[in-house]
Chains A and B, each alone.
Chain A
């Protein structure tokens, strides 16, 4: 079946450094790629998303890039802060089938 691979599973960075999380999807028909942040005990919250007709999107310290040919998309967080510590999930969505597939998650720890 279709899946989304996410790497790394854990990531520790020093405060102020950048963090990159990568995902690979299998369904070539996927056309929407959101990223969610889940803090401990909280619900997943959308932080940024990108559609298949766009290669890059940026929102302050976070950015997402998409390579449709390679079926890769990545989350970039610059100038990391301790409050960025959380679990991040990527997902792929196929509007034709309403199919959402989530990655396995990345636990990011920002060390002060």
Chain B
């Protein structure tokens, strides 16, 4: 399975600011995914990040709020913009779930608290 790292592991931010979360994979992957997991809840897909093209967002998530970059096949960033307390959550990146490997593997997550 792929080794996935995320930075930062946690952060406490002020309302109205932005935070960029980085996700690094130890192998080249076509698709990377960003999820949000609110306390005690399941995993909600935010968007799919493909290298060389615009990210594909799920219903309820927009690019202005969650811009994503995918500069190469091993790295992606998710920015949470103009944060409010409702954005407090765990954000996870994942890889897999494509034609090469059906299994998704998750990064360790970023625990975000917005005051």
Looking at A42, A44, A49, which has the most chain B CB atoms within 10 Å of its CB?
A44
Inter-chain contact A32/B102, CB cutoff 8 Å: yes
Inter-chain contact A44/B107, CB cutoff 8 Å: no
Cα distance A24–B45 when bound, in Å? 20
Inter-chain contact B108/A93, CB cutoff 8 Å: no
A93-B42 contact given A43-B107, A43-B108, A100-B97, CB 8 Å threshold:
no
Inter-chain contact A93/B43, CB cutoff 8 Å: no
Interface size in chain A (residues, C-beta < 8 A): 18
Interface of A is mostly: strand
A73 at the interface (CB under 8 A from B): no
Cα distance A17–B97 when bound, in Å? 33
Number of A-B contacts (CB under 8 A): 45
Inter-chain contact A43/B106, CB cutoff 8 Å: yes
Cα distance A100–B103 when bound, in Å? 10
- Which chain B positions have C-beta within 8 A of A54? none
A98 interface neighbour in B43, B98, B106, B109, Cβ under 8 Å:
B98
Q: How far is the CB of B11 from chain A (nearest CB, A)?
A: 15
A-B contact pairs, 28 of them (CB 8 A): A34-B103, A34-B104, A42-B108, A43-B92, A43-B106, A43-B107, A43-B109, A44-B92, A44-B106, A45-B106, A46-B103, A46-B104, A46-B105, A49-B103, A89-B42, A93-B97, A93-B102, A98-B31, A98-B97, A98-B98, A100-B33, A100-B45, A100-B97, A102-B42, A102-B43, A103-B42, A104-B41, A104-B42
